[in-house]
Structure 1
Amino acid sequence: MKYILLTFTMMLFSCRSNDAKEDQPEVRAKTMLNDRQKQLNLSILLDLSDRIDPKANPDMPAHFQKDSALISYLTEYFKSEIRSKGGHAAKPKMRIIFSPNPADPGISKAAEKLSTDLSGLMPVEKKKIYDNIGNTVTENISYIYRTSLRQAYWPGSDIWRFFKNDVDITIDPDTSYRNILVIFTDGYLFHADSKDAAGNRYAYLLPGLLDKYKLRNNPQWSKDIDKLDFGLISKRADLDRLEVLVVEVTPATKHKNDEDIIRKVLDKWFAEMKIKKWKILNTDLPQITKGRVESFLRD
């Protein structure tokens, strides 16, 4: 599988102590400070499915506009982190991933223009990126979304297979980095190439499954999920160095409680994969979501 990696960068602050003890508050405080000082390895997985189509899924602002606003926020956050860390010490990373890689060569070219990694750059080079990255991101992200909407080809985003086979690319081998994956998705997971099933576990999560298992309009839906062991197939349990933030979850208009089902299924899946920390955010006005994203990044 091919992936487009857009590496801006960020930093969040240094090494984590393994010696913190519950009965030593001064040690806990030091550990928290060290964790914030780690460099940040931030990956963004964009779901370019029909969730962004304003005709199929109308919203105000449109979903692609919300995505663009949040990506712009991440860019500004990146710039603020460079300022606080300084030109010499700043060496974090940020990348955008498509799963699978879009077929359009123009999208690939736009992605290449956004590929940046501060870890091996001189301060003067970092300053140039700092000065230009805002416009560069705005221009190329806009192109990516405009092109996707114009083509109106929606094979889905293979988020399940990405975690099965390729999530390792979001985990830096250098333990001085904090690894965070931000996923833009409506929460309904599907790709034409991933239709695996094992018992009551699946490689996808679609409204039809929720109907099949009678989870909608069912006050016992949570207990039924537990009883049936319904959910996503888990293929690994080694992601204890990865944090995951899911944004823009959007339940079906006539089934708002789908959000609760999606959240429970994802919670279960992430826990089984031993993900270090995660948070799932429903769609909202960009300024509200920005605050929640910032809270996660700074935690």
Structure 2
Amino acid sequence: MKKIYYLLILSLFFIQCKKSEQKVDDNGKVNDSISNNKNLNISILIDLSDRIDPEKYPNHSMEYYQRDLEYIKAIKTGFIDHIKGKKVIQLDDQMQIFFNPEPSDPEVNNLAKQLKVSFDKNTSKENIKMVDEKYSTLPTKIYQSAITDKQYVGSDIWGFFKSKVKDYCVKEKHRNILFILTDGYMFHKDSKFTEDGKTSYLTPELVKSLKLNSSDFKDKMNDKVLGFIKANDDLNNLEVIVLGINPEKGNPFEGDVIKTYWENWLSEMKVKKYQVKDADLPTNLEPVIQKIISGK
């Protein structure tokens, strides 16, 4: 009898340990996604349109392409801090950079390949140092090439969400975070569609034509059912952070219109979490980026 009692106590002990490992959500159900958050899959989608051109859109406090570069460094730092905080045997993390469409310069595409990095149980300190160095130097070469080339063809963000985001940016048993570096406008000649009041693009000219230049712009958007055309469904395993919203001057509500377009679109596609941030100075956004990656 004592033996049976001992086995029962032992079994209850192991069951309790198992529960503590699994974690539970607010409804008392096992939530495996909590443990999956230990593995990061970070993607960075860069808008290489003319928004980065320092001649066309100068900013004396800090050029917009330089802000992008600092945002990328902050993302890299957050990712590496995450790696250093894990035991080597637990490593299953990756980070990569994307463009859509791909630049015509093959060297830029080669640089992007070098920026696709992953860590597993075989990772060494040298590997971490190498990734740190790559993300501190190679993105600068990408932006310099695009600015020198001046062949700005727009950025097909809508098309990326339609055809590529699930394959490229979502990985099972990982916390998937997509950072998008863009001014918030969206346009590409191969992804220009209209469905009633909704579009696959957003330009300053479109905002003007829709007369979204007053405080009641949300009412106008609701009445006319304005917004982005839904490009995907059930992106509930993806977090999206949009950095760099930079509205054209002249309409005090332009930035709010851009954010509303994005927020409604991401919500409609059932993105798990999302934030849309202005093109603020990196010193202000760095702690925000770090907090997002740490999950705190």
TM-score, normalising length: structure 1? 0.85
Give 1:138 shift: 2.1
Q: Look up the match of 1:43.
A: 43
The question of 1:288 aligning with 2:288 is answered no
**Mind listing any 5+ residue stretches in structure 1 that lack a counterpart?**
1-14
- For each residue in 1:240-270, what CA deviation from the matched residue of structure 2 results, as whole angstroms up to 9, or x when unmatched? 1111000011011223421100111111111
Contact 2:185-2:203 within 8 A present in 1 as well: yes
Match of 1:273 among 266, 269, 278: 269
Aligned partners of 1:135, 1:188: CA distance in 2, in Å? 31
Which residue identity is paired with 2:278?
N
- Residues 133-144 of structure 1: matches in 2 within 5 Å? 133-144=131-142
Contact 1:88 1:123 (C-alpha < 8 Å) held by counterparts: no
CA contact 2:37–2:175 (8 Å) conserved in 1: no
* Secondary structure of 1:85 counterpart: coil
Identity of aligned residues (%): 30
Distance 1:228 1:274 in 2: 22
Distance (whole Å) between structure 2 residues aligned to residue 123 and residue 133 of structure 1: 11
Alpha-carbon separation, structure 2, partners of 1:37 and 1:221? 38
The 8 Å contact of residues 41 and 170 in structure 1, kept in 2 or not, is answered as no
> How many residues are paired up?
274
Evaluate the alpha carbon distance shift between residue 144 and residue 173 of structure 1 in structure 2; reply closer, same or farther with a 3 A threshold: closer
The alpha carbon displacement at 1:140 in A equals 1.1
| Amino acid paired to 1:204 | Y
Q: Deviations over 1:170-207 (max 9, x none)?
A: 44442x20111100000010111111111111110011
Partner of 1:152: 150
Is the partner of 1:58 in helix, strand or coil? coil
Instruction: Identify the residue that residue 21 of structure 1 maps to in structure 2.
Output: 26
The TM-score normalised by the length of structure 2 is 0.86
Q: Cα deviations across residues 198-240 of structure 1 (Å, max 9, x unaligned)?
A: 1111110011111111111x22211000111001111332211
Deviation digits for residues 6-62 of structure 1, max 9, x if unmatched? xxxxxxxxx975x4235x7xx9xx969935842011110000011111111111211
**What is the match of residue 77 of structure 1?**
78
2:25 is aligned with what amino acid? A
* Structure 2 residues not aligned, in runs of 5+: 1-20
Q: 2:199 aligns with which of 180, 198, 202?
A: 202
